[in-house]
Amino acid sequence: MTNCKNYLAADLGAGSGRVILGQLQDNKLTLKEIHRFNNETVTIDNHYYWNILQLFTDIKRGIELALKEGVKISSISVDAWGVDFALLGSDGQLLSNPHTYRDPRTNQMQEKMNSLINEREAYQRTGIQSMFFNTTLQLLGMHNKNDPTLELADSLLFIPDLLNYFLCGEKVSELSIASTSQFLNSENSQWDENLIDRLNIKKTLFQKIVPTGSIIGKIKPEITNDLKCNTFSVIASAGHDTQAAIASVPASGYDHIYLSSGTWSIIGVECDEAQTGELSQKLGFSNEKGVAGKTNLLKNIMGMWLIQECKRIWDRDSENNDYETLIELAANAPALKSILNLDDECFIAPIDMPQTIVDFCKKTQQNVPDNKGTIIRCIIDSLALKYRQSAEQLAQITGQTFNNLHIVGGGIQNQLLCQLSSDAIGCTVIAGPIEATAAGNILIQAIAMGDIESLNQGREIIRSSFSVKTYQPMGQLNWDEAYQKMIGLSEKT
């Protein structure tokens, strides 16, 4: 391509990763998957770890394959999930593999944190909800067990910052990923040293915060020598994958709700400042730093995780469990027969998700789903109702009216969920793009490199580059009755 700019997005999820080649030409963005790889957790002595060195090896492999495409790479950036981190020694080397956010070291740590700082004050300072996986609780767990790596550690890097460091040798904390930690002050966007002191954590662990979209260095000479390529930039794009996905929402203005649909469902709105009042805290919303100076008021909801876990269990016994077949079975199953309280702790990390769903329905005296179709339908109906609740809560907190729900990410392939979300909420649903995280990652790189002027221009490029599908409410089911049932379950369980 003539005058074509080429960017690489290393997009990491909790189960897999991809290196995506983004090519920008004539205000059109095209994406091509260069390398896909697994991201499997490693379990040792009942602790869960990320295989971070394998992830870095796969990112290098993605660079190598992109070079074989004959492109000249302008830049690369890594995005990943929030809260998890690695500790490095004074020599800059890893002290241990990073733990996953589902590791049990955070057990009972919320009570410990509450004894050191009032939960309301912590929310006012950081805008982040107290959740079992927060970085604060992970570090408290290490401190509580006198983990020797914590004493030896010289620096802390979150997962995307760590991999960018491996690529260029610069240790920084990008703003969006830092904001997931519950250590960032929501007003000044700097580390909250008062909170850090009260939790007895070393302030020196925390690295300089850089704005989203900062050029932080060049690929290490050892990597360019190994791959026999010219140097190119490493950019701290939106390190948090959620914020990268939000950047690619093909909307004009800010009068919409967005939903990043994947393993987790993240639903929210873009605000000019953090919403840290009692209402937003009570309703379970967090404030994370986004792109272009925006703060995202959002909530994490159990998403495709429930379906993925059901499929994992069923795959042990049979082969015909592809997602299209499961969604078709759900579409043909009776609607709104059983509803889940997705906030119930039983769904966080069950051994057997289908059985957990059956047990929940028995416990709450509902119709018990007895096959794959009814179980998946139960999940999808419950998600649609949860989205409705969250949309109403966002309107309540902000005082705004929202007419559209933009859904991006892999979850848009579940057309049944998109349609039922429109029905349940009673609004227009606009679904797409599917590769939202990679697209957002690349847009932010292009802005950093001066190839795109602004986020608004980037979103115009997204609108002209990718097709979307629109869903309108069909009004065929009694969603109001089901919604009240879900509210009742939330109060009881």
Catalytic residue list: 241
> Cβ contacts of residue 480 below 8 Å, gap of 6+?
none
User: Sheet containing 28-38: which strands, arranged edge to edge?
Assistant: 28-38, 16-25, 5-12, 73-79, 233-236, 214-218
- Tokens 């490029």 belong to 461
Q: Buried b / exposed e across 241-263, counting CB within 10 Å, b at 16+?
A: bbbbbbbbbbbeeeebbbbbbbb
Place of tokens 């740590």: 109
Residue 245 CA: distances (Å) to CA of 30, 92, 189, 317, 440: 16, 31, 21, 35, 5
488: Cβ–Cβ under 8 A, 6 or more apart, which residues?
none
User: Are the C-beta atoms of 83 and 138 separated by less than 8 Å?
Assistant: yes
Q: Is the peptide bond before 354 cis (omega within 30 degrees of 0)?
A: no
DSSP 198-217: HTT--GGGSPPEE-TTEEEE
Element (H, E) at 463: helix 455-465
Q: Residue 412's closest CA among 445, 437, 440? A: 437
Residue 214 tokens, joined? 């900062």
User: What is the spatial distance between Cα 360 and Cα 339, in angstroms, rounded to a whole number?
Assistant: 9
Q: How far is CA 23 from the centre of its chain?
A: 24
Residue 225: how many other CB atoms lie within 10 Å:
9
Beta bridge partners of 214: 236
Helix 353-363, helix 305-315: angle, nearest 10: 120
Tell me if 420 sits within 8 A of 427, measured CB to CB: no
Q: Which residues make Cβ contacts (< 8 Å) with residue 40, sequence separation at least 6?
A: 15, 51
